[in-house]
């Protein structure tokens, strides 16, 4: 009986030690969020109709458990943006709206929007089929664009 208790204690200690090893990611935590970064350029807009010399950087965390996307958006050379969206469409084609995002109040502000997990799962499964686009009044089909990638 003592021997069985000692073995059970030893097995439990080994399992607990494995859970506490720095750098080891376990089960559910590994799938709770994914990071997505996209560089956007005027020349990436379909038919090259974007704003020349404009660019943007979209850095985000897709919080699957919390059903939200939090992101930072930095823009250069782009005046008066009025829209930020994730659209479904391959490189070189105009796509359909998937998620309407909010423009940050100021460069460098983190912004979060609620998004259903099923939508994020779909997007993350085939990233190359989606893109981020920033629009302006003069460029409603896109001022800058960046395709998501693997």
Domain layout of the chain by residue ranges: 28-147
Q: For position 5, what pLDDT does the model report?
A: 39
pTM for this model (two decimals)? 0.77
Residue 119 pLDDT level (bands cut at 50, 70, 90) = very high
The pLDDT value recorded for residue 84 is 98
Q: CA torsion, points 130, 149, 64, 73, in degrees to nearest 10? A: -80
Compute the Cα dihedral for 20, 67, 86, 71 and give only its sign.
Answer: negative
CATH architecture of 28-147: Sandwich (2.60)
Mean pLDDT of the chain: 83
The pair of structure tokens assigned to 84 is 């930020």
> In whole angstroms, what is the distance from residue 150 CA to residue 139 CA?
28
* Average pLDDT for 12-31: 40
Per-residue pLDDT, 115? 98
DSSP 61-118: EEETTTTEEEEEEEEES--SEEEEEEEE--TTS--EEEEEEPPPSSTT--EEEE--HH
Cite the DSSP H helix spans in 20-127: 27-30, 117-125
Per-residue pLDDT reduced to its tens digit, 59-116: 999 999 999 999 999 999 998 999 999 999 999 999 999 999 999 987 678 999 999 9
């Amino acid at each position: 009986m003592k021997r069985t208790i000692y073995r059970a204690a030893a097995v439990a200690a080994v399992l607990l030690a494995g859970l506490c090893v720095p750098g080891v990611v376990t089960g559910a935590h590994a799938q709770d969020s994914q990071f997505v970064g996209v560089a956007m350029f005027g020349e990436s807009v379909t038919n090259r109709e974007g704003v020349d010399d404009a660019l943007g950087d979209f850095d985000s965390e897709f919080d699957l458990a919390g059903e939200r996307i939090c992101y930072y958006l930095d823009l250069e050379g782009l005046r008066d943006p009025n829209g930020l969206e994730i659209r479904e469409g391959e490189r070189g084609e105009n796509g359909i709206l998937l998620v309407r995002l909010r423009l940050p109040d100021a460069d460098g502000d983190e912004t979060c929007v609620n998004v259903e997990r099923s939508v994020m799962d779909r997007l993350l499964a085939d990233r190359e089929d989606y893109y981020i686009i920033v629009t302006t009044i003069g460029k409603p089909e896109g001022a800058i664009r960046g395709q998501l990638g693997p």
